[in-house]
Amino acid sequence: SIISGFKKSIPVILGYIPIGISYGILALQTDLSPYLIVGMSVFVFAGSSQLIAVNMLTAQAAVIPIVMTTFLVNLRHILMSASLSLHFKKSPQKLLPVLGFLITDESFALGNTLLKEEKENKGLFFLSLGVSAYLGWVLSSWAGVIIGRYLLNFKIPVIDFVLPAMFIILLILQINEKMDI
């Protein structure tokens, strides 16, 4: 169950890598330290909210609008949690907050499909799926900070490079996925 969850998370991790790296590079354009940039990935684990926060910080928005915007963007997680909770009736209550933290759009979509197939230990399956994806996101954010610092040392215009590169990678992943079908 745990190994199965890890194996099933690999496509999610591969999708997180270019976005996490892009987030790390873009976040360096703010006044956040590398520790805070990676810390946001550790404690928030919501790529869309993190990218929104970084863009708002770059635009010098105040803290309250940033918090409210990221809160509104992540309201959908309440519905996703409610939907997935039906699979975790036999899971220990102490595990539920951790499982809730690990819900992302990708883990929800994958978990919603795969949890129907899992017969036992659904909580452990989703935990391993979520933790694997989480580690993929945090490590790719960290890699983005390292790559971004390297690019900044050479005065490469990071914004001009990162966004087009991210979209090209996402396009290639989409094309490969369509070709596999």
For 109-165, what is each residue's pLDDT tens digit? 888 888 877 777 888 989 999 999 999 999 999 999 999 888 777 666 655 565 566
pLDDT in tens, 152-166: 776 666 555 655 666
| Residue 180 clears pLDDT 60, i.e. is over it | no
Q: Compute how many other C-beta atoms are within 10 angstroms of the C-beta atom of residue 144.
A: 27
pLDDT, position 55: 86
Neighbours of 164 (CB within 10 A): 10
**pTM to 2 decimals?**
0.83
Note every long-range contact of 36-44, with CB atoms under 8 Å and residues 24 or more positions apart, other chains counting.
37/141, 37/145, 38/138, 38/141, 38/142, 38/145, 40/141, 41/137, 41/138, 41/141, 41/142, 42/138, 44/70
pLDDT the model gives residue 160: 59
Q: Are 127 and 108 in contact (CB under 8 A)?
A: no
What pLDDT, on the 0 to 100 scale, is given for residue 163?
58
User: Residues of 17-41 as b/e, b for ≥16 C-beta within 10 angstroms?
Assistant: bbbbbbbbbbbbbbebebeebbebb
The answer, yes or no, to whether residue 35 has pLDDT greater than 90, is yes
Per-residue model confidence as pLDDT tens digits over 54-102 = 889 888 899 999 999 999 999 999 999 988 888 888 889 999 999 999 9
Closest CA to 118 of 126, 127, 128, 109: 126
* pLDDT score, position 115: 82
- Measured between alpha carbons, how far is residue 147 from residues 13, 38, 118 in Å? 18, 13, 39
Dihedral (CA of 9, 14, 15, 18) sign? positive
- Count of alpha carbons within 13 Å of 163, Cβ hemisphere only? 7
At residue 24, the pLDDT reads 93
Does the pLDDT at position 178 exceed 90?
A: no
Q: State yes or no: pLDDT of 168 exceeds 80.
A: no
Q: Which residue has the tokens 């907050």?
A: 97
